[in-house]
Amino acid sequence: MTTSDEAIREEVRRYYASAASAAAGGAAACCGPDSTNFGSGLYDDLSELPEAAALASIGCGNPTAIADLREGEIVLDLGSGGGIDVLLSARRVGPSGFVYGLDMTDEMLELARRNAKEAGATNVEFLFGQIEAVPLPADSVDVIISNCVINLSPDKPLVFAEMHRVLRPGGRIGVSDVVTENRLTDRERAERGSLVGCIAGALSMSDYEDSLQQAGFVDMTITLTHQVGDGVHGAIIKATKPDAA
């Protein structure tokens, strides 16, 4: 791990710690005039969730709406924040299923656990860790979701490799993320937004698909959902880990 990687993680950690503190105090962590592109405004099913879970949302989509979660499945949410997607997933998989939330920010984990207790969710667990080193055994989850977090990682190939490792054969991913059009250069991405603003670190559509393929995934699809900048889009990314057979 390089000094640069550590600096990126610390920048992200500080930003999300501040967001957690804001949500815990009753203020929205996101997004001002950009609320149509990021945050809880992208959800339509929050009526039974604790207010702080919605206030802490800084995502670019609603992965629980596109992951086709089923009763009894084991789900992992990468970068679970205040717990909004974990709690929504817990409803969908029911008492016979289970949902893990993974986050590297102590303040977010504290908020998420408080929200889970308030919601009465008993089929969830929040884990401390980085998405580049998931603290779960291989072949242990059915579905991986994530909401605008993978773009923040300084080592995305390692993230995709870890996703492939922990998924069971035949398992799938359904994530919301920010991607750029293939025409943009690294410099142009940086000019369009910050790292913590989920733009500077975003992959191009072709790089995203290539990285998933190199990690071992098949049946990749990237569907653009809304524009968040010139050549920059929110997107739904789906892929499958091949079945052992």
Q: Where are the domains of the chain?
A: 3-240
Q: Which residues contact 172 (CB under 8 A, 6 or more apart)?
A: 67, 142, 143, 144, 238, 239, 240, 241
What is the pLDDT at residue 209?
96
Right CATH number for 3-240 from 3.40.50.150, 3.90.1010.10, 3.90.105.10, 3.40.50.2000?
A: 3.40.50.150
Q: Is 175 helix (H, G, I), strand (E, B) or coil?
A: strand
Contact in structure between 178 and 38 (CB atoms under 8 Å): no
Contacts of 117 (CB under 8 A, 6+ apart): none
- Per-residue pLDDT averaged across 28-44, rounded? 55
For residue 164, pLDDT beyond 90: yes
Tell me the C-alpha to C-alpha distance, in Å, between residue 140 and each of 69, 74, 111, 164: 16, 8, 26, 11
More confident residue, 52 or 71: 71
23 alpha carbon, distance to own chain's centre: 18
Closest CA to 89 of 198, 19, 175, 13: 175
**Mean pLDDT, rounded, of the chain:** 84
- The dihedrals phi and psi of 71, each to the nearest 5 degrees, come to -50, 130
Amino acid type, 3: T
The DSSP string of 43-109 is: -S--TTS-HHHHHT---SS-HHHHS---TT-EEEEES-TTSHHHHHHHHHH-TT-EEEEEES-HHHH
Query: Per-residue pLDDT for 168 more than 90?
Result: yes
pTM: 0.86
What is the distance between the alpha carbons of residues 221 and 34, in angstroms, rounded to a whole number? 26
More confident residue, 3 or 229: 229
H-run or E-run covering 17? helix 3-24
Residue 84 binned pLDDT confidence (cut-offs 50, 70, 90): confident
